[in-house]
Amino acid sequence: MAQGSNNNDAFLGSAMQFMQAGQDMAQQFMEFLGKTSGASGAEPLPAADPQALTALQKQFMDQQMSLWQAMLAKQQGQEQSFKVSPEPGDRRFSAPEWRDSPIYDYLHQAYLLNTQYLKQVVEVIPADDDKAKNKMRFLARQVADAMAPSNFAATNPEFIQRALETKGQSITDGINNLIADFEKGRISMTDESVFVVGQNIATTEGAVVFENELMQLIQYKPLTPKVGTRPLLVVPPCINKFYVMDLQPENSLIRFMVEQGNTVFLVSWRNPKEEQGNLRWDDYLEHGPIAALHVIREVCKVKQVNALGFCVGGTILTSALAVLKERGEDIVSSLTLLTTLLDFSDTGEIGLFIDEKGLAAREASIGNGGLLPARDLQNTFSMLRANDLVWNYVAGNYLKGQKPQAFDLLYWNSDSTNLPGPFACWYMRNLYLDNSLRVPGKLQMCGQQVDLGKLDMPVYLLATREDHIVPWLSAYESTRILGGKTRFVLGASGHIAGVVNPASKNKRSYWVNDDVKADADGWLAAAEEKKGSWWTDWATWIKPLAGDLRAPRKLGNTKYKPVEPAPGRYVKERAV
């Protein structure tokens, strides 16, 4: 009985500590919000409703006591009547070690209760608007994720078990992994020694047929005996490298496009160095898509080209087409936009990083020249999914001493790019902050007042349902902005996995509905779900727009001769 009493006392003591820890975390978070609000020059945050806060505290204490009692019952061989489960997709506590020991079983569930409590406290704190509230939610999540017991050696049973199994070697390996990542300046997400650009990723055959200071234009070798007369220009994002669309043959969207009988050209953006630090938004339009379209017309001897843009590449491409429209150049006969924003009224969590004060500071430092470093961009995107892209590797690489597995998509994710300061600041100011692109005539680009509503070519719009960078509801707004007949398709999964969804694997699904007159929710309610990849749907849509079939031409021509084999040297330049 004495031993059981001691165990009960120990658990009760632990429960009291965790209740206090949860309350302290919430209190410190509220104090932090108050300080940061005052430091930003805004009015201090009003206090939370004391009655609502008291009710939350009582509920929290009741839940902690229920957990404590349930764990005691489990120790005595009874069924655990109260459990706290992670949110769907949270794999931090999935290993059996977290449940085999009553200490760690209790530890991780008490942490989950603390996290729930912190989130609930945020909801009762007043906020000026939705963006301020979302910023509180984001910060609370960062705090909660960082405090997880899985992130610390003393509170992670997987660390202890692996250390015992390897007789301490995992600890040595973890320290060596940490030192190596310190030298690289970033967390290793994959075994980078496995991949070489141009050898086992970005291997679709082709040649660079044109280049300037900003980009190389790649023409891919045909893979069919006949090709459509109308070529296809692909404009990928300049934030990261293009080869996310050409990883390996089995998951290469570029190769799939070529296999459908398209003559495919692609803009390979340069990874800017200090010499390119003065480039502006207009430069990206003029020397990116506009230059590429003119070259393609000459190479293929055609009047019109099909065009496709991905993410910010789609925003750049659409802006360039609006400039050409004002110049009287009707070059593009169809437009495909993949997870692209034209209306920036809701930009998801990425928009939380862009506010007037922070942007003014960036404009003062790099707005007239300089670089936005690749590391800053990568860290920002990683924090949007910190558990998956930060803490998962802290626990795996450093605590368990493991080497991350080879994964082509994560290799690409680590191969970030710089951005010229003037380009980045203009983009954030005029699009993210002011949302001016959707307003006819408000923005001047390349000397032209642009109006996206004048773009009257057929449009294929793809959004993805779980996209945290381009929310699909915002992407749907493009149906109201562009002037042409629009096909809107909603893919499953997120910003990258939803796009890179090979047709050959027949995974996931997508939703279609020809009627885009309804709002986004109405569109989805009436949409039909189809199994497999959106790639096949797009291939069916683009086929009649590719023109009559003819024998393929050789790469380039007498004026634009092949410079070097694809993928070219620009994509191989890594950010320092």
Q: Report pLDDT for 39.
A: 46
If we measure between CA atoms, which residue out of 317, 427, 292 comes closest to residue 372? 427
Residue 514 pLDDT more than 70? Answer: yes
Question: How does pLDDT run across 373-422, given as a tens digit for each residue?
Answer: 998 888 888 888 899 889 999 999 999 999 999 999 999 999 999 999 99
Q: Do residues 227 and 262 make contact, with C-beta atoms less than 8 angstroms apart?
A: yes
The one-letter amino acid code at 518 reads A
> In CATH, what number is assigned to the domain containing residue 498?
3.40.50.1820
Tell me, yes or no, if 311 is annotated catalytic: yes
Lowest mean pLDDT among 336-340, 405-409, 509-513: 405-409
Q: Identify the band that residue 4 occupies on the pLDDT scale cut at 50, 70 and 90.
A: very low
pLDDT at 330: 95
Residues 286 and 147 in one domain: no
Whether residue 3 is predicted with pLDDT greater than 50 in this model: the reply is no
**What confidence score (pLDDT) does residue 44 get?**
54
Same domain for 117 and 216, yes or no, is no
- For residue 17, what pLDDT is reported? 60
State the pLDDT confidence band at 349, using cuts at 50, 70 and 90: confident
In a domain, 492, yes or no: yes
Domain count within the chain? 2
Domain boundary among 105, 133, 165: 165
Q: Which of helix, strand or coil describes residue 156? A: coil
Average pLDDT (132-136) is: 88
Q: Using pLDDT thresholds of 50, 70 and 90, give the confidence band for residue 89.
A: confident
Residue 142 lies in a domain: yes
Say whether both 149 and 29 belong to one domain.
yes
Residues 153 and 278 placed together within one structural domain of the fold:
no
From residue 292, give the alpha-carbon distance in Å to each of 206, 255, 269, 271, 552.
16, 20, 12, 18, 20
Q: Average the pLDDT over 286-297 and give the result.
A: 98
**Rounded to 10 degrees, what is the CA torsion of 313, 317, 318, 320?**
140
The catalytic position among 238, 311, 425, 446 is: 311
Average pLDDT of the chain to the nearest whole number = 91
Burial readout 220-233 (b: 16 or more C-beta within 10 A, e: otherwise): bbbbeeebbebbbb
Residue 102's pLDDT is what? 86
Q: Is residue 411 part of a domain?
A: no
**pTM attached to this predicted model:** 0.90
Question: Strands (DSSP E) along 475-521, which ranges?
Answer: 486-491, 509-512
Q: Which two tokens stand for residue 160?
A: 């202890």
Record the tokens describing residue 409, joined without a space.
Answer: 């998509």
For the cut 50, the answer to whether the pLDDT of residue 1 exceeds it is no
Mean pLDDT along residues 342-358: 91
Q: pLDDT tens digits, residue range 370-384?
A: 999 998 888 888 888
Tell me which of 133, 165, 197 is where a domain ends.
165
Does 445 reside within a domain?
Answer: yes
On whether residue 354 sits in a domain, the answer given is yes
Question: How far is C-alpha 332 from the chain's CA centre?
Answer: 28
How does pLDDT run across 200-224, given as a tens digit for each residue? 999 999 999 999 999 999 999 999 9
351 and 246: one domain? yes
pLDDT digits (tens, 9 = 90+) for 426-446: 999 999 999 999 999 999 999
CA 363, chain centre distance (Å): 24
Tell me the residue type at 575: A
Top pLDDT among 70 and 286 is at 286
Q: Are residues 217 and 158 in the same domain?
A: no
| Measured distance CA(557)–CA(207) in Å, rounded | 12
pLDDT by residue (tens digit) across 305-336?
999 999 999 999 999 999 999 999 999 999 99
Q: How far apart are CA 115 and CA 118, in angstroms?
A: 5
pLDDT above 50: residue 5? no
Question: What is the rounded CA–CA span in Å between residue 498 and residue 471?
Answer: 12
For residues 290 and 210, membership in a common domain is answered with: yes
Question: Last residue of some domain: 115, 144, 165?
Answer: 165
Regarding whether 219 and 286 lie in a shared domain, the answer is yes
% of the chain residues with pLDDT over 70: 91
Q: What angle do CA 202, 209, 329 make, to 5 degrees?
A: 110
Mean pLDDT computed over 235-252: 96
The Cα–Cα gap between 284 and 239 comes to 12
Give the Å distances, CA to CA, from 5 to 8, 307, 556: 5, 73, 83
Name which residue leads in pLDDT, 121 or 278: 278
The answer on 530 and 452 residing in a single domain is yes
- Structural domain harbouring 29: 2-165
Give a yes or no: residue 378 inside a domain. Answer: no
Provide mean pLDDT across the span 486-513: 95
CA 376 to chain centre: 14
Domain match, 469 and 350 both: yes
Residues 153 and 240 in one domain: no
Residues 226 and 127 in one domain: no
Structural tokens at position 241: 């490298």
- Would 98 be classed as within a structural domain? yes
pLDDT in tens, 165-206: 999 999 999 999 999 999 888 899 999 899 999 999 999 999
Residues 6+ apart with CB under 8 A from 525: none
Q: Tens digit of pLDDT for each residue in 21-55?
A: 555 655 665 565 555 544 444 455 556 778 888 89
SS3 299: helix
Is 170 domain-assigned?
Answer: no
**pLDDT given for residue 32 in this prediction:** 53
